[in-house]
C-alpha cells in the first residue's frame, strides 16, 4: 500500500464528452508536471467520466493555489469538478470499535509503521475493553456506553468527537452497533464499515457456525461505505478465502478475521489515496 512521497494526486469527474482526458494531460504538460500514474473510466450508462492522476512537478516552485486556479478555468468548459491532494498528506480519522480487536490491531500496526497515510485522532467504543490498546499507542480513547434509550445521546457524543478531531474518515472496525439514519447521513461518503460475506449468506448469531453446518467453501469480507441500509452501502472492495471440509467453526472464524483485516485495510488505503469515486449507489474504484 502507499504511493510515492513526491506525487500529487488530482481526481476529477464530469459529464462524458470529447477531450476529457486531454484537458487534464495537456494542462499537466503545460505546467511541467510528469504523470506517474493515471486511470480513467467512462460510464456509458450514466454518461459520466472519472479520472485519477498522480503526477510529479518537474519545475521548482510548484504552487498548488495557482495550479488549481488555472485548471479550474479549463475544467469549467467541461463541467468538471476536481480535487488536488498534496504529497504525504495524512488523512485525519476516527476509529469506532466494540470488543473484537483484530481489525483495530491491524489498522494500528499499519498506522504505526507508516503503511497507511492516516492520522488516527481518536478511538471510540461502546465498551471499555480496548482502552489499554489505545493508550499504548498514545491515542485518545472514548468510552460511550449505549442502550436503546440512550442511543441519541451516545451518537451525539460520537459526532462531537468527529467534529472536534476534524476527522475526514470514520472507520467502523467491527463496531457492533447500527448507526441511526441521522448519523449515517452526516457521515455519508466518509465512513467505512467491514462485515463478513459468507457464501451463501448467513445472518444473525454465530454466522460461521451456520456456515460450517452448510459446508461452505468460501469465507469472505466486504468493506463498504455506510448508508441507511444495514450492510448494503456502496461496496469499496471485497476479499475471499477458500475453506474446506477440514475447517472447523473455529478455523472459519480465524480465516474470517484475517480476511476482514486485509479487506478493511485495503478499503481504507483506497479511500485515503483518492482511488474511490462514489457514483450513485455504486463506486468507481481505481485500484493499484
**Residues known to be catalytic:** 231
Cα–Cα dist 170/187, whole Å: 8
DSSP secondary structure, 93-154, as one string:
EEEEE-S--HHHHHHHHHHHTT-S-EEEEEEEESSSTTHHHHHHTT--EEE----TTTHHHH
SS3 8: strand
- E strands along 185-279, which residues? 191-196, 218-225, 235-242, 276-279
What burial class does residue 43 get, using C-beta atoms within 10 Å of its C-beta: 0-12 exposed, 13-18 middle, 19+ buried?
middle
Per the listing, cell 504511493 goes with 3
Spatial distance between the Cα atoms of 127 and 266, rounded to a whole number of angstroms: 26
Q: Cα separation of 162 and 143, whole Å?
A: 14
Q: What is the DSSP-derived secondary structure letter of residue 180?
A: P
Residues of the chain by 3-state class (helix, strand, coil), percent to 5: 35, 30, 40
Amino acid at each position: 500500500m502507499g504511493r510515492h512521497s513526491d506525487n500529487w494526486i488530482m481526481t476529477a469527474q464530469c459529464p462524458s464528452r470529447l477531450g476529457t482526458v486531454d484537458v487534464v494531460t495537456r494542462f499537466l504538460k503545460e505546467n511541467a508536471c510528469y504523470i506517474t500514474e493515471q486511470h480513467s473510466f467512462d460510464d456509458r450508462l450514466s454518461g459520466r467520466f472519472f479520472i485519477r492522476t498522480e503526477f510529479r512537478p518537474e519545475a521548482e516552485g510548484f504552487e498548488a493555489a495557482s495550479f488549481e486556479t488555472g485548471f479550474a478555468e479549463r475544467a469549467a468548459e467541461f463541467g468538471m469538478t476536481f480535487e488536488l491532494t498534496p504529497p504525504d498528506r495524512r488523512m485525519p480519522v476516527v476509529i469506532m470499535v466494540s470488543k473484537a480487536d483484530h481489525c483495530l490491531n491491524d489498522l494500528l500496526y499499519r498506522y504505526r509503521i507508516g503503511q497507511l497515510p492516516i492520522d488516527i485522532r481518536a478511538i471510540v467504543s461502546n465498551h471499555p475493553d480496548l482502552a489499554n490498546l489505545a493508550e499504548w499507542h498514545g491515542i485518545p480513547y472514548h468510552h460511550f456506553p449505549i442502550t436503546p434509550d440512550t442511543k441519541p445521546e451516545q451518537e451525539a457524543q460520537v459526532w462531537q468527537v468527529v467534529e472536534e478531531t476534524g476527522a475526514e474518515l470514520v472507520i467502523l472496525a467491527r463496531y457492533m452497533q447500527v448507526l441511526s439514519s441521522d448519523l449515517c447521513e452526516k457521515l455519508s461518503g466518509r465512513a467505512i464499515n467491514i462485515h463478513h460475506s459468507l457464501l451463501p449468506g448467513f445472518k444473525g448469531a454465530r454466522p460461521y457456525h451456520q456456515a460450517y453446518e452448510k459446508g461452505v467453501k468460501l469465507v469472505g469480507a466486504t468493506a463498504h461505505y455506510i448508508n441507511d441500509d444495514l450492510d448494503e452501502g456502496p461496496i469499496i472492495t471485497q476479499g475471499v478465502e477458500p475453506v474446506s471440509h477440514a475447517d472447523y467453526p473455529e478455523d472459519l472464524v480465524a480465516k474470517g478475521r484475517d480476511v476482514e483485516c486485509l479487506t478493511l485495510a485495503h478499503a481504507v488505503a483506497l479511500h485515503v489515496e483518492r482511488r474511490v469515486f462514489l457514483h450513485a449507489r455504486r463506486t468507481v474504484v481505481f485500484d493499484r
